């Protein structure tokens, strides 16, 4: 405020030379020579105060430390706090699963030889199912497979909604072609020049539109399983595109689509399509029995498609049986569900080139027995608890990684004993989380929680 030009109705113009009482009183030097303390409210400001900008230091480049901890190790440690192993470290951080990994490799070999296979992974919560699925995903991409993954839940990606599971598999689809990782859209763009052996009710139309440079969002919303109705397609002048139906018995439609995609992957030089379905035990916990029954139909259709069962290639002569729990749909003589609006064969071409991987937790539900009966036609891995020596190896590797991430940490004396004592008989997920939490605690406070 000091230095500002002000005006008083009786005394004229002046200049502020001092202030008091938090700026409520101003000492004004008027043009007539008087210097008086004036109430601020009696003065009118004639010119804004010129505020000199504070000098700003020149921008400095961000300092990124090159010493004091391995960045990759820190990434792994942060992932362990969530109880998971990051995908880039799957191969180097898998312990005590030699037999299981050999079974995974046999499943891939069988799928490559027969053009399809089913692999079931069952185990209790925290036993390492997700870790093994991550291993399968990493292995499949490295070996030249396309991989889609869906984690089921009770509300959206749920077993009785086949379109939503298809949408999730397509959304997560990955395929390494050359030195580049591509998704579903790039796969179809590269496949637009392929001549199909017979028309595919959906993919043929999508490939034709792409060959005509009709690469627009509506096309992708439609073929990727988004909620696109008949009215909207008509509004976009896509009258010839058939709607992807969203009713629960439409299992045949989405198995037909996935088997067609498996064919395209093979034609593009890939080894096949791997479909990973995690949390399949969601089926056992659905609140309504008809939903559980439809979910079992879905798993039966996926298993049959992956195993290339011959009865799934044709629609001619199918016996139609009504299921009282179905509003729109019917069941054929072999027990496979079909859409009541647009029934299709499950298999576009045989073989489907699909390796189906199901992961679930055992249950007392009768539908668990149904899943067991289905996957018995393929391969089953039952995850057993890790041994004490496996946990010891894992702990040593954890300590090594933690020391690389935080060089000031030294696992000596009591901390190693404390880690070993507190981490016995743990599930893998809890083991990882608690081990890192204990080491964090010791690094910050120099004592363990039980030494306070």
pLDDT value of position 51: 56
Number of Cβ atoms within 10 Å of the Cβ of 211: 13
Report the pLDDT averaged over residues 82-108. 87
Helix (H) or strand (E) holding 364: none
Q: Residue 14: pLDDT band by 50, 70, 90 thresholds?
A: confident
Q: Residues of the chain with pLDDT > 90: what percent?
A: 48
Report the pLDDT averaged over residues 89-115. 91
pLDDT value of position 451: 43
Q: How far is residue 355's CA from residue 103's CA, in Å, rounded to a whole number?
A: 14
pLDDT value of position 357: 98
In three-state secondary structure terms, 104 is: helix
In three-state secondary structure terms, 119 is: strand
When the pLDDT of each residue in the chain is averaged and rounded to a whole number, the result is 86
Helix (H) or strand (E) holding 222: helix 217-223
Least confident interval from 20-24, 309-313, 333-337, 362-366: 20-24
Q: How far is residue 221's CA from residue 213's CA, in Å, rounded to a whole number?
A: 16
Least confident interval from 43-52, 80-89, 111-120, 291-300: 43-52
Q: What would the pLDDT profile of 388-430 be if each residue is shown by its tens digit? A: 888 888 888 888 899 888 888 877 766 777 777 766 556 777 8
The angle formed by the CA atoms of residues 206, 212 and 214, to the nearest 5 degrees, is: 65
Report the pLDDT averaged over residues 290-308. 95
Tell me the two tokens of residue 320.
Answer: 């139609």
Q: How far is residue 313's CA from residue 110's CA, in Å, rounded to a whole number?
A: 21
The angle formed by the CA atoms of residues 346, 350 and 356, to the nearest 5 degrees, is: 65
- To the nearest 10°, report the CA torsion of 293, 298, 300, 302: -170
Strand order in the sheet with 354-360: 145-151, 272-278, 354-360, 116-122, 379-382
pLDDT value of position 199: 95
Q: Strand pairing partners for 116?
A: 354
- To the nearest 10°, report the CA torsion of 276, 279, 283, 285: 180
The residue that leads in pLDDT, 232 or 132, is 132
Q: Residue 48 above 50 pLDDT?
A: yes
pLDDT value of position 59: 55
Q: Residue 278 above 90 pLDDT?
A: yes
pLDDT value of position 434: 84
The residue that leads in pLDDT, 2 or 177, is 177
Report the pLDDT averaged over residues 158-187. 95
CA-nearest of 17, 10, 9 to 44 is 9
Residue range(s) in the chain whose domain bears CATH number 2.30.30 = 5-45
Number of Cβ atoms within 10 Å of the Cβ of 143: 15
The residues near 179 (Cβ < 8 Å, ≥ 6 apart) are none
Q: How far is residue 218's CA from residue 57's CA, in Å, rounded to a whole number?
A: 51
Tell me the two tokens of residue 175.
Answer: 């395929």
Q: What would the pLDDT profile of 182-236 be if each residue is shown by its tens digit? A: 999 999 999 999 999 999 999 999 999 999 988 888 889 999 999 887 887 877 7
The answer to whether 187 touches 267, Cβ cutoff 8 Å, is no
Centroid of chain to Cα 110? 27
The answer to whether 7 touches 15, Cβ cutoff 8 Å, is no
Based on its alpha-carbon atoms, the radius of gyration of the chain, rounded to whole angstroms, reads 33
pLDDT value of position 446: 67
Least confident interval from 63-67, 71-75, 234-238, 274-278: 63-67
Least confident interval from 60-74, 190-204, 253-267, 348-362: 60-74
In three-state secondary structure terms, 415 is: helix
Least confident interval from 86-90, 222-226, 251-255: 86-90
Q: Residue 331 above 70 pLDDT?
A: yes
The answer to whether 439 touches 397, Cβ cutoff 8 Å, is no
Q: Residue 292 above 70 pLDDT?
A: yes
Report the pLDDT averaged over residues 292-318. 93
pLDDT value of position 43: 84
Q: How far is residue 14's CA from residue 34's CA, in Å, rounded to a whole number?
A: 9
Q: Residue 239 above 90 pLDDT?
A: no
Q: How far is residue 156's CA from residue 160's CA, in Å, rounded to a whole number?
A: 10
Residues in the chain: 452
pTM, two decimal places:
0.79
CATH of region 5-45: 2.30.30
- To the nearest 10°, report the CA torsion of 41, 47, 48, 53: -140
CA-nearest of 330, 248, 256, 246 to 292 is 248
Number of Cβ atoms within 10 Å of the Cβ of 155: 8
The answer to whether 31 touches 14, Cβ cutoff 8 Å, is yes
In three-state secondary structure terms, 48 is: coil
Report the pLDDT averaged over residues 147-167. 96
Q: How far is residue 427's CA from residue 260's CA, in Å, rounded to a whole number?
A: 40
Centroid of chain to Cα 409? 33
pLDDT value of position 143: 93
Tell me the two tokens of residue 353.
Answer: 């080139």
pLDDT value of position 426: 65
The residue that leads in pLDDT, 85 or 269, is 269
Q: How far is residue 149's CA from residue 160's CA, in Å, rounded to a whole number?
A: 17
pLDDT value of position 64: 42
């Amino acid at each position: 405020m000091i230095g500002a030009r002000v005006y008083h109705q009786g005394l004229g113009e002046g200049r502020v030379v001092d202030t008091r009482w938090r700026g409520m009183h101003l000492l004004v030097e008027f043009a007539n020579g008087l210097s008086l303390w004036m109430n601020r409210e009696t003065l009118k400001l004639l010119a804004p105060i010129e505020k000199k900008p504070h000098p700003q230091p020149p921008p400095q480049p961000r300092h990124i430390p090159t010493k004091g901890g391995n960045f990759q190790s820190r990434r792994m440690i942060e992932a362990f706090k969530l109880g998971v192993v990051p995908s880039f470290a799957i191969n180097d951080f898998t312990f005590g699963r030699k037999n299981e990994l050999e079974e995974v490799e046999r499943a891939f070999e069988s799928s490559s030889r027969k053009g399809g296979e089913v692999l079931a992974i069952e185990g209790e919560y925290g036993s390492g199912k997700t870790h093994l699925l991550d291993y399968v995903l990493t292995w499949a991409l490295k070996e030249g497979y396309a991989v889609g993954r869906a984690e089921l839940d009770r509300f959206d990606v749920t077993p009785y909604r086949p379109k939503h599971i298809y949408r999730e598999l397509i959304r997560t689809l990955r395929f390494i072609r050359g030195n580049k990782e591509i998704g579903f859209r790039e796969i179809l763009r590269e496949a637009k020049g392929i001549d199909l052996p017979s028309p595919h009710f959906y993919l043929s139309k999508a490939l034709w539109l792409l060959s005509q440079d009709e690469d627009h969002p509506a096309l992708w919303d439609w073929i990727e399983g988004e909620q696109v109705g008949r009215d909207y397609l008509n509004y976009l002048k896509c009258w010839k595109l058939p709607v992807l139906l969203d009713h629960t018995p439409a299992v045949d439609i989405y198995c037909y689509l996935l088997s067609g995609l498996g064919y395209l992957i093979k034609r593009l030089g890939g080894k096949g399509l791997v479909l990973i379905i995690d949390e399949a035990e969601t089926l056992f916990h659905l609140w309504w029995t008809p939903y559980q029954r439809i979910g079992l139909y879905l798993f039966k259709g996926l298993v049959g498609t992956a195993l290339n069962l011959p009865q799934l290639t044709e629609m001619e002569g199918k016996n139609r049986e009504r299921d009282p729990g179905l509003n729109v749909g019917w069941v054929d003589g072999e027990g496979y569900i079909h859409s009541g609006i647009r029934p299709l064969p499950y298999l576009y071409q045989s073989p489907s080139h699909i390796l189906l991987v199901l992961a679930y937790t055992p249950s007392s539900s009768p539908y668990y027995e149904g899943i067991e009966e289905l996957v018995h036609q393929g391969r089953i891995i039952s995850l057993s608890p890790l041994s004490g020596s496996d946990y010891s190896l894992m702990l040593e590797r954890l300590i090594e990684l933690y020391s690389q991430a935080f060089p000031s940490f030294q696992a000596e004396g009591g901390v190693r004993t404390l880690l070993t004592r507190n981490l016995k008989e743990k599930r893998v997920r809890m083991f990882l989380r608690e081990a890192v939490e204990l080491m964090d605690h010791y690094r910050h406070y120099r004592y363990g929680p039980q030494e306070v």
